[in-house]
Structure 1
């Protein structure tokens, strides 16, 4: 099966997790892994095959088509039905952009993660140059796709009363960083993702991004030099070629 044909997921996300699991196979064995957006169960199955102790959840558990473990129901806008410090790894694939209360998600994830636990999120990259240009011309994720309106903003699944918001809560890397940091999670790594040709063309504006980011860093350090680590990490994110050029954000967080 072509990975782009796997339902309820994105090919980019599948490619990343396939590579990640292969690379970290030895360290994943025996780890308590929680997939909070299991969808078809394909990613959960990959972790299970490498010896992970996987618990899978989804708003629509009946969509499971690949995982042999039971997928349990979860609504990420409420308290997670998961015990404190019970997870070594939490993953959320292509779902963060649908959550109205993203602060709550990070708060609950921090609660269920054990010390030195890892959270991995994949989400559309509104911090890319292409997306920044799209915001400028059409105020949407992509200039060829308008932002959902009131007729498409909320999707109800056929035959149920459950539903989810469309992609009207896409957050950029700096907003994601601060929401995570407030809840005790720090960015450990921005993983490589597919680049976009439009973003490459828009690199002509990079000197402006670099200048104003440096200017802000300099001003902040004068006011609060004790926060150097925070301000410098923001500067690095805002000027990162990987972030500016990538179609998706694939972010790995660490709970201290």
Structure 2
């Protein structure tokens, strides 16, 4: 019986998957940040940039908000995407997000985007240390991740099924809920939560899921966090590991 319901709801959500990427949410966050702060020149970095969709959308939003100079940067390793990004005029680094230091000056980036990427990584302390280093004070980090506590994942667990946000035979190695992820990135007081948005709502069609995501964002398929860099400049995010022992080695 559970297989019947699973297959039924899976068919219902087919065609809505593009909503998981929250493109309009990211554009809105970029526009708001630049408008409020009246920025005339910005540097935007996308970690795991893919073909550059969010970067180009962000550039358009920045220019619409009155920004006169927009510099685009990316960390991306997949060669076809690297070529696409470079053809768009994006400055690309092909490095290991989880191990390497990011070759940008401290406090030099205005906006960092990481959309549907963090769930693929283990070394999140290193990643947030580097983001904290390169982001300007009051700069923003926009993170989009699958929501482990989404409505459909709760139903899947009730039916004894694996949540779609983190399959063992799949690419995702981490699951995130709003409360737990916020507890993570606010540790050490390098970051604070500005705003949270939801996008898509399985198994409903787009026009219904957009409405449900607005009234119950934490039930959405994906959650998007607008995170602000605080003024703290002593130490680094991964210093948390010095005082807290985890039974897993992490890069500090």
Instruction: Please indicate the TM-score interval, normalised by the length of the shorter structure.
Output: 0.5 to 0.7
- SS of equivalent residue, structure 2 residue 173: coil
Matched, 1:69 2:90: yes
TM-score normalised to structure 1 length: 0.64
Matched, 1:173 2:178: yes
Deviations 1:99-141 (CA, angstroms, capped at 9, x unpaired): 1122222222111111111100011111223223334544633
- Please give the residue correspondences for 1:140-219 in structure 2 after superposition, counting only pairs within 5 Å: 140-142=162-164, 147-149=167-169, 153=170, 166-183=171-188, 184-197=190-203
Q: Is this contact kept in 1: 2:151–2:201, CA < 8 A?
A: no
Counterpart of 1:47 in structure 2 is: 58
5+ long unaligned stretches in structure 1: 154-165, 199-239
Counterpart of 1:113 in structure 2 is: 135
Counterpart of 1:30 in structure 2 is: 41
Q: How many residues align?
A: 191
Query: What value does the CA root-mean-square deviation take over the aligned residues?
Result: 2.9
Which residue of 147, 150, 153 corresponds with 1:128?
A: 150
- Cα distance, 1:138–1:85 mapped onto 2, change above 3 Å: farther
- SS of equivalent residue, structure 2 residue 227: strand
5+ long unaligned stretches in structure 2: 1-14, 64-68, 205-213, 231-252
Offset of residue 180 of structure 1: 0.5
Deviations 1:205-250 (CA, angstroms, capped at 9, x unpaired): xxxxxxxxxxxxxxxxxxxxxxxxxxxxxxxxxxx96333211101
Cα distance in 2 for residues equivalent to 1:29 and 1:180: 28
Cα distance in 2 for residues equivalent to 1:146 and 1:12: 16
Q: Is this contact kept in 2: 1:10–1:94, CA < 8 A?
A: no
TM-score normalised to structure 2 length: 0.65
